[in-house]
Amino acid sequence: MKDKEFWLDDNITIHNQQTNKKAITNRFKTIDLINAIGGLHGNVLDIGTRNVLTVDLEMVYNIKIDSTHGDLDEVFNCPHKNYDFVHYGNVIEHQFNPLFTLQKIRTVLQKDGILILATPLKPKWITTAKCHFHEFDEYSYSKLIKRAGFKEVKRLHYYREFSLKGIRQFLGSFYKRQVISVLIKS
């Protein structure tokens, strides 16, 4: 399957999240990080449609997690006005306007709430994925977080994949990595 077709419909996305090694690793690393900061409590929001991680977190913490709906580049619809915890995992790179969503998250996140943000980071010379509108390097990622009014308090990095599909993909295996950040309002 071509990269740009990889996330085109919910059934393909769910199948990928259940079977793809990268996606499985992302889930376990996210759960480990959430456990390290004390777990989930209160109102919890997952940005994007319900997914395998949402279901896993609901089972692990015995809670109900809300999800957003609609086009996140234009509207921000969620069931409640206040959340203690927001998970924004591997969605931001698929948006045209991620700053809009980050600013909306800031309005619904409680004063002492936590935002977990996950996305790939890469040097500028690594090939981009056709399904991503934004691929962040360290500089642009940090600037976006700051511009949206958040402060990073913890970060986890790990390499995402190993590829022999070409020299750029091979080199990307050593430089492109997944980042999961714990953010608070600044």
What is the pTM assigned to this prediction?
A: 0.82
Ordered by where they begin, the domains of the chain are 3-185 (3.40.50.150)
Q: Which two tokens stand for residue 60?
A: 């692990």
Q: Higher-confidence residue: 10 or 151?
A: 151
100-120 per-position pLDDT tens digit: 999 999 999 999 999 999 988
CA-to-CA distance for 69 and 130, rounded, in angstroms? 23
Calpha distance 1→13 (Å, rounded): 12
Q: Please tell me the distance from the alpha carbon of residue 45 to that of residue 78, in angstroms, as a whole number.
A: 8
9 contact partners, CB below 8 Å, separation of at least 6: none
Helices marked H in 92-137? 98-108
CB 40 within 8 A of CB 81: no
Contact 128, 135 (CB under 8 A): yes
pLDDT digits (tens, 9 = 90+) for 42-55: 999 999 888 889 99
Neighbours of 58 (CB within 10 A): 16
